Structure 1
Amino acid sequence: MADDCFGHPRLAALYDPLDPDRSDLDAYLQMAETLEARRVLDIGCGTGVFALLLADRGIEVVGIDPAQASVDVARSKPGSERVHWICGDAAALPPLHVDLATMTANVAQAIADPETWQKTLRAAYEALRSGGHLVFETRDPAGRVWEEWTRENSYRVTDIPGLGSVESWVQLIDVSWPLVAFRWTYAFAADGQVLTSDSTLRFRERDEIDADLVARGYVVEEVRDAPDRPGGEFVFLARRP
């Protein structure tokens, strides 16, 4: 089930305005270009930002996400007809033959259940053509980034056209290694409504991810640094032989 920040219609509408800087996607666009990908599967496509950037470049894109509200936002955007949107998890994928599969931002870590993680890796493998690549990022646990997830560090007020002023902040709920749980709170000035969304991320060690990929038949070609979070993330580039 999708977290409320993605699955609740009012919160899904906030996602892009609260996170307008998506320069983190530049590295993925560059990899798609370098790999000469013409068909891409965007797993955990959310509100469709990356899928639509790819489509703008003439790439055939399938975007899949379990949150109906987020997919609805994606479908409402200009140019969305160029993307094939699917609401569901990786098990809902039709037969595909893509050059590249991606999981941007927190997608890989948000798949916290080990069985679902293995199913996702398998589904991505089956969707790739021979020689196709899977690319995703995950935070390095050594960075202990969750220690910064406090109201003091995250509180802000954002004026959003058509929605009004929205207060938002995050607070750590629990660390039960390797799971880290946190809660986002959103307060709407327009009507006083306060909504919360609880999320859990799984922090995987690099060796663990290597082993998972190899077990699913991938060849791990490279583990890169993330340009937007230097020293804080692993970016995996794995190939289906």
Structure 2
Amino acid sequence: MADECFRHPRLAAVHDALDPDRGDLDAYVRMAEEFGARRVLDIGCGTGVFALLLADRGVEVVGVDPAGASVDVARRKPGGGRVRWIEGDATSLPALRVDLATMTANAAQEITDPGAWHATLRGAYEALRPGGRLVFETRDPARRAWEGWNREGTYRVTELPGEGTVESWCRLTQVRWPLVRFRWTYVFGSDGEVLTSDSTLRFRQREEVEADLAARGFVVEEVRGAPDRAGREFVFVARRP
């Protein structure tokens, strides 16, 4: 199930404004160009930022996400009609033959159940044409990113049209390896409403991910770093033979 920050209509509507720096997507756009991808499946598309970047470049995109509120936001964006939006996940896709499947940001780590993770990889494999690639990122556990997930390090106030100020901050709630849980809090200045969103990420070692991919039939071509977060992320490039 998607987190509340993606499922709640009010939070989904302000998500992009609260997280405006999506420079992390530049590397995925370049990889789509590198691999000559003309048909792309964006798994965990959220509010559609990446899918629309590709659609603006003439790429045929299918965006899938279990959070209906986020998909609704994506549909309403300029150019949203150029993308095929699906409320769901990679385990229940229609027949596709895409050149590239992606999971950007935390999408892969948000799939915490091992069975659901394996099923997602299998669904991505089936959606790809032979020779197509799956590309996704996951945080390097050795960097212990969660140690910075506290109010002091994440508190900010954002001014939003129609909403006034929105205060937001993150707090770590539990580390029970390999699961890390945290909570975002949002305070809307216009009416004082306080909303929270609990999230869980599963941290996987590089060797574990490579084994999972191989078990689903993929060939791991390369494990890159994220250009904007040097040394903090594994970016897997896996091919369907």
- 1:63-102 → structure 2 map (5 Å cutoff): 63-102=63-102
- The alignment's TM-score, normalised by the length of structure 2, stands at 0.99
Question: Partner of 2:132: helix, strand, or coil?
Answer: strand
Which residue matches 1:208? 208
CA distance in 1, matches of 2:14, 2:149: 19
- Please state if 1:43 is matched with 2:36: no
| 1:222 matched residue in structure 2 | 222
Contact 2:96/2:127 (8 A) holds in 1:
yes
The alignment of Structure 1 onto Structure 2 pairs a total of residues equal to: 241
Q: How does 1:8-19 map to 2 (within 5 A)?
A: 8-19=8-19
Gaps of 5+ in 2: none
TM-score (norm 1): 0.99
Match of 1:134 in 2: 134
Spell out, residue by residue over 1:111-149, the C-alpha distance to the aligned partner (whole angstroms, 9 max, x if none).
011110000000000000000000000000000010000
CA RMSD for the aligned pairs? 0.5
1:110 counterpart = 2:84? no
**What is residue 178 of structure 2 aligned with on the other side?**
178
Q: Is the 8 A contact 2:92 2:123 kept in 1?
A: no
1:58 aligns to 2:50 (yes or no)? no
What is the CA–CA distance in structure 2 between the aligned matches of 1:224 and 1:138, rounded to whole Å? 11
How many angstroms does 1:31 deviate by? Answer: 0.3
Identity between Structure 1 and Structure 2 (%)? 74
Whether the aligned pair in 1 keeps the contact of 2:63 and 2:84 (CA below 8 Å) is: yes
Structure 1 residue 92, shift from structure 2 partner: 2.3
Moved over 2 A (4+): none
Structure 1 gaps, min length 5: none
Give the partner amino acid of 1:149.
Answer: W
2: CA distance, partners of 1:234 / 1:91: 24
